[in-house]
Amino acid sequence: MKNLTYSIISICFLGLLTYSSCKKFVVIPPPKNQLVATQVFADSAGANSAVAGIYVDMVQSFGLGFASGGLTLYPGLSADELEQTSKDADMSQIYSNQINPTNSYDEILWSTAYKYIYDTNACIEGLNASKGISANFKAQLIGEARQIRAFLYFNLCNLYGTVPLIRSTDYHTNQSLGREPVDSVYAQIFSDLTYAQNNLLKSNVAERANYFSATALLAKVQLYRKNYAAAETEASIVINSGNYQLESDLNSVFLAGSTETIWKIIPVFPGIETWEGYTFVPSDTTVAPQYVLNPALYSSFESGDMRKVKWINSNTVDGISYPYPFKYKAGTTTGTPTENYTVLRLGEQYLIRAEARANLNDVAGAQADLNIIRNRAGLPNTTASDRASLLLAIEKERRSELFCEWGNRWFDLQRTNRADTVLPAAKLNWTHNDILYPIPEGEIKSNPALTQNIGY
């Protein structure tokens, strides 16, 4: 598990973070380690910059990592959302659900997730040890780091199932940890989000974790754990807060100033807007995109659905039409990015509450929430009128509203036990074991305590 220990936080100009080899770090004598932590977390400004730097690290590398588009592209290919037009053997494995444990993209997902978890743990430890920060501000920053950590573990669990639960920067302990049961990881997620709720500000500054982003993420986690009453409660807090409004123009949903955004990451890589825009939007109208929408997804939109008009674009090359995701419309920029990378938004909260209410047999409440999303898309009210039909209607609406966002479709089919029903029509040789990604082989070789998922 060497990749869990390869980064250390240090502060540079304007509070951005840079990283160096943790192998080098761990051989420095303990007094030097303590000096580094003391310097970084000596005061509020340095500590604030350290936590802010976690966001920078998540999007500053060139390419698709765990928090910079990878969780959209790879699960989108594994599900029934995306297809590739280029020849890339490792990407083809993901699309065909025949992922080799040596797959380079699988390794990127795993290693970058644990790199960011290390960052959050380093901040939490540094903050706890600091004597130069007020108790309230310290708790606020720790809450922010813990929300980020909860977000990372939530997605790791949904990709891999049981995973190592790393809560410190202790290399000697972490290098031999095995996989924790999913219930144990979710217990940590709940603990982190509850702490975050209790200590973060009730702010709508979406580029930093806050009370409402912690609550929105908790609503999603509660839905996934089938705690429907709790999911409804948490989603209602966000919806009823008055801090967020659905954008009437679908083209505004992912803009930097969107009133719908609950939590976002500001792009920092020079010349790049969002990594999703850079990946999905072709450089020219005469160029075939690298990734196109699955025909079944493209044809699944109802007549009159403005999401098909506003969130999908198409290039025609040699007489062939190539529809591609167009939620983010710019790949590069010469100035300040006009689009920010949306992690959580209000539209999803309505669908979370709709599904929770349907499972609680609140038919009218579920219909009302579902219709808000449908009407915004230019569609009439739903005709679903009972729990069973509503759940199918919500599944379809989530597919249309949340396509190519953070692996939602892949995770939805997994958590509702619908993958084995839906995906065989789109995937040759589909098996139930394909729903989880393999643990990277390099990680298992480095740490014999790690075991592989069934089927790999």
Q: 434-455: per-residue pLDDT in tens? A: 999 999 999 999 998 999 999 9
The stretch 230-237 carries a mean pLDDT of 98
Q: Which residues contact 448 (CB under 8 A, 6 or more apart)?
A: 176
Do residues 168 and 118 make contact, with C-beta atoms less than 8 angstroms apart?
no
CA neighbor of 218 nearest in space, from 236, 234, 206, 233: 234
Q: Which CATH number characterizes residue 35's domain?
A: 1.25.40.390
CA neighbor of 125 nearest in space, from 50, 13, 49, 198: 50
Residue with structure tokens 């139930």? 432
Residues 320 and 375 in one domain: yes
CA neighbor of 155 nearest in space, from 341, 435, 416, 406: 406
134-146: pLDDT as tens digits: 999 999 999 999 9
Residues 48 and 173 in one domain: yes
Residues 363 and 429 in one domain: no
Residues 23 and 51 in one domain: yes
Look up residue 31 and give its two tokens.
């007094």
Residue 451 in any domain: the answer is no
Residues 338 and 427 in one domain: no
Residues 14 and 88 in one domain: yes
Residue 266 in any domain: the answer is yes
* Segments forming the whole domain that contains residue 347: 243-407
Residues 180 and 311 in one domain: no
pLDDT at 63: 81
CA neighbor of 249 nearest in space, from 129, 329, 191, 148: 329
Distance CA 431, CA 412 (A): 17
CA neighbor of 345 nearest in space, from 171, 200, 219: 219
The CA distances from residue 301 to 237, 373, 400, in Å, are 30, 14, 7
pLDDT at 292: 98
Alpha-helix runs per DSSP H in 161-294:
171-174, 182-199, 211-224, 228-239, 275-280
pTM for this structure?
A: 0.91
Residue 355 in any domain: the answer is yes
Count of CB atoms situated within 10 Å of the CB of 309: 15
pLDDT at 3: 42
Residue 71 is which amino acid?
Answer: L
Distance CA 292, CA 323 (A): 5
The stretch 29-47 carries a mean pLDDT of 63
Residue 455 in any domain: the answer is no
Number of domains in the chain: 2
- pLDDT > 80? residue 22: no
pLDDT at 172: 83
Do residues 119 and 9 make contact, with C-beta atoms less than 8 angstroms apart?
yes
313-330: pLDDT as tens digits: 999 999 999 999 999 999
Residues 87 and 149 in one domain: yes
Residue 123 in any domain: the answer is yes
Residues 160 and 17 in one domain: yes
Residue 209 in any domain: the answer is no
Residues 258 and 378 in one domain: yes
Residue 192 in any domain: the answer is yes
Residues 169 and 274 in one domain: no
The stretch 376-392 carries a mean pLDDT of 98
Residues 137 and 188 in one domain: yes
Cα 118-446-89 angle, rounded to 5 deg:
90
Residue 212 in any domain: the answer is no
